[in-house]
Structure 1
Amino acid sequence: MHAPRTALALTAVSALLTLSACTSGGATTPSAAQNLELTSTTPAASGALDEITWNLPLGEPTTLDPAKVGDYSPSTVVSNLCDPLLRLNADYSVGPGLATAWNRPDPKTLVLDLRDDVRFWNGRPMTAADVVASLERQRAAATRSVNTQVLATVRTITATGDHQVTVTFSTPDVLFLKYLVNGFGAVSEAAYLKKAGTSYGTARGGLMCTGPFELTGWKSGESITAVRNDAYWDTGLRPRAAKLTFKFLTDAGTLTSALLSGQIDGSYEIPSTVSKALRSSDTGTLYHGPSAQTVFVAPTGPTSPLADPRITQALSLVLDRDALVRNVFDGAARTEKTFIPSLVWKNSEAKDVYAKGYDALPAVPAADVTRARRLVDEADPKQRTVTVAMGAGDQQSLQILTFLQAGAKRIGLTLAIKQLQPTQMSGLFYDPSLRTGLDATMALGYVEIPDPLSYAEMFTSPASPMNWTHYDNPEVTSLLTRARATLDPEGSAQLFTRAQALYTKDLPIVPIAVPHERLFLNKRLSGAPASFAYLNMPWAAHLGATDGNAS
């Protein structure tokens, strides 16, 4: 992450406080981002390139094992190395990947038909045995998969042919198939997995996958390199770039200089604080795309003052989100009624049901300090100081929290900001010990699969490791459980929207905004998707030279 610029944060906060003081209630006006032109793709490339140097602004990955990938940096790399069974498209729709077709002979059975022309980088053919091994290993505690909850309803995963896999379930599961678009559905060679053991996905253990690029080097603290897979099974997507090098520039100023000088060819997740400098550059183009990212503040435990929804509602009421979008996100975000971005259901078969449910939710609240103060007085928390974690150097989060800090003071709360190093910040989402001494965290979250149910379950299910406050609304749990077991898209969506109407009232989360994807490309190349779907699709295989810049 990038180094903080306190002066910039205070300037933004000053502007936001001035605007907030003028607002007392009612719905927000359309945000400044509404007129920003969004694109899911960039112009098609026309030529080949010897090498592309790409940056990972959130730092070096800790692993490239697809089963353990659950963050921006590792997913950005792995999506070009290890193909999943299904492929996510730039518009968040789903299509065939290593699986060509799928069907359900009955509600508790899923049959996947696999491609018969796929080979791993070592030349060995991919078979159903490799798929079974890749999925089954994620049950084992030793794997430390971040996807264990996906297997909660799975009874068996078996090879029912050389190129066919059959999955059986204890109850029907609408989400399992959709999870096959990310690291959970990525296929590795079974023999290599067995040989590498726990070192799989490390600089020492390496990978053995089927993707458009092959991992060839990992120098800790310096770079990750991959080369074109000339035998890639998807002949229409064989990379135009011969070599792909990833760097780890986390400081916003350093990254900006590297992009403007051409040392770095491109990057996703461009910090909003440097958008203006890159937008006006003639070195390349800054693209804005639709995103499934979501920024919110969440309590880290049941004893946190924020575990009381009255406190989170109060903090929500000291935010002027439209001013925040303009000043902190440089207009490249939108306000939404929930912490789950609407993009994840916009291309669903049941999109009309989701849209109707969303429209029925209360409007995004405008700043109302008087009402916020009443809620705090009503809750009367024993602890008035709230320690909130954020990633060290994350300028955007610092600006948001500094503004929230000033607002909290006006309603009798003290907000202490604690900056954590990137690995510690990422780790606290999975390791309870890293949440000790914290009351809340700034979450830069995202929804990987095209279904809002997956994200809602994480925070509302009593069994979820992400339910840190022990939230337990039996009606919400029942509705979401039934939604997951309902294979009819509209029936599942109707159950979800009923649950959504309930948990938006009592789930202790402070939604901030839904940022747009920000991609910068040097003028010598083009072709990459500009939407957040890049995280689970082979985006680098689309990259190539622009006219006159081939090498």
Structure 2
Amino acid sequence: MSGSRKYVRHLSTLVTFSVATLVVAACAPTSAPSGAVAQNNHTDSVLTVGLPGSLSTLDVAHEAGILNYYVAQVSSEGLLGVDTEGKIVPALAEKWKTTDGRTWVFTLREGAKFQDGTQVTTDDVLFSLDIARDPERSPSTAVYWAEGTQVEKTGEREITITLPEPSVNFDWTVTASGGLWITSRAFYEAAQSYGSSSDLIMGTGPYRAVEFQADSHATFERVDTWWGKTNEKAPKKIEFDFFSDESTRLLAQQSGKLDISLQIPASQQPQYEALSNTQVTTVTDRSYVGLTFDTAVAPFDDIHVRRAIAYAVDRNSIVSSVLNGKGEVATSIESPEQLGSHIGVESARSLIAQNLADIQTASFDMEAARAELAQSVVPQGFSAELLYPTSIPELGTAALAIAENLKSLGIELTVTGKPVEQWITTLGTGEYGLSYMSYTPTTGDPAEITGWLLGESNPARYSQSDVRQLITEQAGEVDDAARATKILEATKIALNDVIYSPIWWGKNTTAFASRVLHPEINSYFFMSGWASQIGLTDSQN
């Protein structure tokens, strides 16, 4: 899984991790909000979406940022899908079953086609599963697939996946919001660089990629090969425009050149809300932002250094001033909304309070920070660099506030902004001892973020036997409350070791032009097949 694996997954996601069959009808679009109709400067049948950054590839398996996931949902599908309420639904598998969480049987949909009109075959699906599990061809997302996973054809349209250990939420892994994007074997093997501007991608969803420029835009056209049903007012074309400057994007929304602006900075929300032709919606995105310490990099191998930095983070001030209250101080890795996806938000919040109330470094205490640094191998301080993705300006502003507090300790922290696609490549490499972790979950797995941050391939390169055991146990735990408790037990060990220092749980703000018809927006909307549910009031179909 992101992340933000996910652009994280706000990063977004950076990266994304990841038994009954249920078919849920798509939500009906709402009426257009009141207000002036946008004077769009583009064709009525084109939906334009402004992203706060660019993509280097259309292949999520190579770049699993949250924006990559949002874009992928319009064209790609897995064996299963996710609806706007965060429930697993059929996709290219019309039904599935498991009796033990270890052996999963999928029955493929008959008559499904790729966007070029060719039939989806069992061989295509097996090929796509091989790609998903291959670290060379899926460097960003193969981590979602446990080593030793076996895949085989067990019937005319039947595929069986056997896991090395039970995983009760494995159904999320085989979705396009998890770790599987089914493609045509012939198309993939003919491509010199799958996902690039020259080769593009091939999926089974309602829109086909027709153009991509990594520093500019990605364009998708609606096809008639999809097995599902689109909104009767669905746009004929969707264009994602990439913006490196937020003021430019705001002007584009204001002038009617954009229909949707994703991940609006908290500082600009009032300006978007003032636009007469725009509706602004803010929802929790279940995201996590915090600091990551690599204990293999000096001086962060000293717990006193890690404690000093954690104590110096004024989380309350950051949430109130930097985020303008559009977030919540984080006391754990998984937010209550994410941890509570099965047991309920309030139950999760109560469990977090019960299990993590005594994490001392969760409080802002400059005197404690000084005392810890005085006990460290660098009592006079040191210099370090903290990178942040420029697509999330709040991360940069928060980093500057943290740097100011550290300066009084003798720690000189240089804050550097990088394009998100460059920032992601530094995570977990050991190049930096101090890193941000900004992860927006793309699934409803209560342990999506924890499973990665405390798993074998975690970006802190942290290894602790009790933590590994708890992470393994929670994956197969069928009792939801017991599972949540194991997740928090593992989290507590890591937070006491100060491997991670949580800062905030986030919210996501989206701007919609008045002509855009859409269901109620929640944290799962853009991780579902959202393009099929969008409509345009003036679309000519």
User: TM-score, normalization: structure 2?
Assistant: 0.84
- Partner residue in 2 for 1:401: 399
**Are 1:505 and 2:496 matched, yes or no?**
yes
- Partner residue in 1 for 2:17: none
Asked if the contact 1:223/1:247 (under 8 Å) is kept, the reply is yes
**Are 1:346 and 2:340 matched, yes or no?**
yes
Q: Distance in 1 between matches of 2:304 and 2:106?
A: 47
**Are 1:527 and 2:522 matched, yes or no?**
no
Q: 2:282 aligns with which of 279, 284, 288?
A: 288
- Partner residue in 1 for 2:30: 44
Q: 1:447 aligns with which of 412, 430, 441?
A: 441
Q: Distance in 2 between matches of 1:146 and 1:393?
A: 19
**Are 1:189 and 2:184 matched, yes or no?**
yes
Q: Distance in 2 between matches of 1:79 and 1:239?
A: 18
**Are 1:172 and 2:170 matched, yes or no?**
no
**Are 1:387 and 2:385 matched, yes or no?**
yes
CA positional deviation for 1:210? 0.8
Encode CA deviations 1:362-421: one digit per residue, 9 max, x unaligned. 178443222222222233436622221123475322210111011112333222223334
- Partner residue in 1 for 2:39: none
**Are 1:256 and 2:253 matched, yes or no?**
no
- Partner residue in 2 for 1:314: 308
SS at match of 2:375: helix
CA positional deviation for 1:126? 2.1
SS at match of 2:251: helix
CA positional deviation for 1:71? 0.5
Distance change >3 Å, CA 412–CA 152, structure 1 → 2: same
Distance change >3 Å, CA 309–CA 180, structure 1 → 2: farther
Q: Distance in 1 between matches of 2:404 and 2:149?
A: 51
Q: Distance in 2 between matches of 1:105 and 1:425?
A: 41
CA positional deviation for 1:452? 3.6
Asked if the contact 1:376/1:412 (under 8 Å) is kept, the reply is no
**Are 1:474 and 2:465 matched, yes or no?**
yes
Gaps of 5+ in 1: 1-40
Asked if the contact 1:228/1:243 (under 8 Å) is kept, the reply is yes
The AA in structure 2 aligned to 1:474 is S
User: TM-score, normalization: structure 1?
Assistant: 0.83
Q: Distance in 2 between matches of 1:404 and 1:326?
A: 14
The AA in structure 1 aligned to 2:376 is A
The AA in structure 2 aligned to 1:496 is I
**Are 1:94 and 2:93 matched, yes or no?**
no
Encode CA deviations 1:439-494: one digit per residue, 9 max, x unaligned. 32233222222224232232223x31x343x4222111111112223345444334
- Partner residue in 1 for 2:112: 118
Q: Percent of aligned positions with the same letter in both sequences?
A: 19
Distance change >3 Å, CA 165–CA 323, structure 1 → 2: same
The AA in structure 1 aligned to 2:183 is S
Superposition pairs of residues 69-148 of structure 1, within 5 angstroms: 69-148=63-142
- Partner residue in 2 for 1:495: 486
Asked if the contact 2:494/2:500 (under 8 Å) is kept, the reply is no
SS at match of 1:287: strand
Encode CA deviations 1:336-373: one digit per residue, 9 max, x unaligned. 21132222232315878744431212178443222222
CA RMSD after TM alignment? 2.8
The AA in structure 2 aligned to 1:413 is I
Gaps of 5+ in 2: 1-26, 34-42
The structure carrying a bigger helix percent of its residues is 1
Q: Distance in 1 between matches of 2:291 and 2:158?
A: 43
CA positional deviation for 1:219? 3.5
CA positional deviation for 1:51? 0.7
Distance change >3 Å, CA 67–CA 322, structure 1 → 2: same
CA positional deviation for 1:550? 4.4
Encode CA deviations 1:59-105: one digit per residue, 9 max, x unaligned. 2x111124324103322211111012222233433333222322124
**Are 1:378 and 2:375 matched, yes or no?**
yes
Distance change >3 Å, CA 392–CA 351, structure 1 → 2: closer
SS at match of 2:239: strand
CA positional deviation for 1:424? 2.2
The AA in structure 2 aligned to 1:405 is A
Asked if the contact 2:86/2:444 (under 8 Å) is kept, the reply is yes
SS at match of 1:518: strand
Distance change >3 Å, CA 445–CA 301, structure 1 → 2: same
CA positional deviation for 1:57? 0.9
Q: 2:427 aligns with which of 426, 429, 433?
A: 429
- Partner residue in 2 for 1:17: none
Distance change >3 Å, CA 392–CA 344, structure 1 → 2: closer
Q: 1:417 aligns with which of 405, 415, 418?
A: 415
Encode CA deviations 1:129-167: one digit per residue, 9 max, x unaligned. 222111112333441432222222444211222322101
Q: Distance in 1 between matches of 2:452 and 2:341?
A: 22
Asked if the contact 1:293/1:532 (under 8 Å) is kept, the reply is no
The AA in structure 2 aligned to 1:112 is F
Distance change >3 Å, CA 304–CA 529, structure 1 → 2: farther
Q: Distance in 2 between matches of 1:396 and 1:134?
A: 37
Q: Distance in 2 between matches of 1:296 and 1:440?
A: 11
Distance change >3 Å, CA 112–CA 356, structure 1 → 2: farther
Asked if the contact 1:157/1:165 (under 8 Å) is kept, the reply is yes
SS at match of 1:521: strand
Asked if the contact 1:172/1:485 (under 8 Å) is kept, the reply is yes
Superposition pairs of residues 217-256 of structure 1, within 5 angstroms: 217-235=211-229, 237=231, 240-256=234-250
